[in-house]
Amino acid sequence: SQSRYITLVVYVYQLLFLYFIFIFFRQHSFKNYKIRTLNNRWGVGLIFITILFFLFNRITGAGLAGTEFSFNTSNPINIFFVLTQPDLLFLLIAPFLASSRLFWVATIIYFFSMLSRGWMGSVLIVFLIYLIRYYPVHVKLKSLVYFISLVLMVFLLLPILDALKWGMRLGLSLSDIFKQVFNSNYWEVLFTVLDSVVSRFQNINYAAYTLENREFFLNSLLNGDFSWFFQNGIFYSTFCKISECPIDFNVFAAEKIYGTVGLSWNIDPGLSGWSSIFGFFSILFIGFSAFFLWISFHFFAKVYGNKGILLISVFSLLYFYHGWLNAFFNMIIYGFFLYFLFRLKSFKF
C-alpha cells in the first residue's frame, strides 16, 4: 500500500544517515590524536559567562523556552549573548577542561540555567558531556551501583523535571509547580512523560508526513515560505536580525501539521524529511550531508582529538540527524572560532 511504501522510503533514508554518522565515527575513532586540554582560564571564563547569562535570563525573562519573548528595542547585552552563545560554549569547552572542579562548577551552573529556562534536555546533555569528558568510563562495581542509582533517580524524578519545565515556561512559582505534581497521579504522569521523552527522539512519523505531502512542501520551499537547509547558523541568524527571513522548516512543518500559525515551538522531520522534499534530487542533499559530516568529523578530530570525535558524533545524532541544523551549524562555526583562539599565544591551552 501507499503508506507502507512511504514508511519504507523514510526508513531507508534514516538508516542511510545513521550509516554515514557511524562510518565517519569508525574511521576516526581508532586513530590516536593529540589530547586536548584547556587550562583554568578557559574554565573560569566559561563559568563567568554562564553565570552572567543565567542572571540576564532571570532578570529579563529572555531565553525562556516556548515563548515569543523579544526585546522591543535593540539590547546590547542580548546582542552580546546572541553572538557568544554561552550554552554552546559549554559544549565546546567543558569536556576539555583540565580541572575537574571547574568542570563540575560550570556543569552545575549550566544545568540550572537551562532548567530555569524550561529546557529539560539539560539532563541528557549534561550526562552526555560527562561521558565524553571522562571517556573511557571504567565501570567498577561501586561506580556501577552509583550509575544505576543515578539513572533510577532521574527516572523517578521525570514528573518533577517535566513540571519544572512547563512551570518555568508558564511563569509559575515553585510552590505551585510542586502542588501540581503531587496533586496528580504520580505514576501515571511518570509514564506519560517517559513516552513524551521517547517520542521526542523519533521522527519517522513527521518525515513520512513530509514525504506524503512532498509537492506541497517543495512548492512552499521554492516560493520562499520557509528557509533552505543551508540557511542556518549564526551568520544567517544575524542577517535575519536586519532583514526579513522565512521561518525554519521545522516550524513551518509544525504549523502545517497542527494547523496553527505563529508557533513558538517546532517538530523535527530531520534529514529524512529534507530528503523526502527533494524526491529524485535527494541524492544531492544526501551528498551534501555526507560531505558536511566528513568535514566536521575531520576538523573536530584534528583540533579537539579523540574527545572531539565523541563530541561531534553525539551531536551529529542529536542535532544534525534530527534536523536541528541551526544548532549543529553553530557548533561547527564556533568550533572553528575557538580553534583560531587556541592558535593565539594569549589563549594558550
Residue 67 has, within 13 A of its CA and on its CB side, a CA count of 19
**What element of type H or E holds 116?**
helix 100-116
Query: pTM score, two decimals?
Result: 0.84
Which amino acid belongs to residue 5? Answer: Y
pLDDT at 3: 78
pLDDT at 124: 85
Q: Is 225 or 176 the better-scoring residue by pLDDT? A: 225
Task: Render pLDDT for 16-60 as a digit per residue (tens, 0 to 9).
Answer: 999 999 999 988 887 778 888 899 999 999 999 999 999 988 887
Torsion on CA atoms 260, 263, 269, 275, rounded to nearest 10:
80
Share of residues in the chain with pLDDT > 90 (%): 38
pLDDT exceeds 70 at position 295: yes
Q: What are phi and psi of 343, to 5 degrees?
A: -75, -20
pLDDT at 271: 93
Question: 133, 184, 190, 141: which is closest to 161 by C-alpha?
Answer: 190
Q: Average pLDDT of the chain? A: 84
pLDDT exceeds 70 at position 303: yes
Task: Render pLDDT for 82-121 as a digit per residue (tens, 0 to 9).
Answer: 888 999 999 999 999 999 999 999 999 999 888 888 777 7
pLDDT level of residue 65 (50, 70, 90 thresholds):
low
pLDDT exceeds 70 at position 143: no
pLDDT exceeds 80 at position 73: no
